[in-house]
Amino acid sequence: MLARRSWSTAQTMAQLRDGFAWWRAYYHYVKPHEALRIELATLRERGGQRIPQRYRACTPAMAAGATDHRWAVVELLNYPVPA
């Protein structure tokens, strides 16, 4: 289902392109996807009463081999964009 995610709309094609590029980068490098999670060989204790971790979160870029870790939003924003 398509839904409006902000109060403003893209006024120009360049704004629409930039917004889509941001969403695509966030989706592939920052947001983990449950279907891509990697099962750990041994359970990872998390301390206290919490249940041990069974899976490692994985992004599409990690699954494709483009990166070895989930990126933070700050890391994504600081990445130099080719001209």
Predicted confidence (pLDDT) per residue in 38-69, tens digit: 888 988 888 888 888 898 889 999 999 999 99
64 vs 2: which has the higher pLDDT = 64
- CA dist., res. 69 & res. 78, Å (int): 16
pLDDT at 2: 59
> What is residue 56's three-state secondary structure?
strand
Mean pLDDT of 20-49: 89
Q: How confident is the model at residue 74 (pLDDT cuts 50, 70, 90)?
A: very high
**Within 13 A of 42's CA, how many CA atoms are on the CB side?**
3
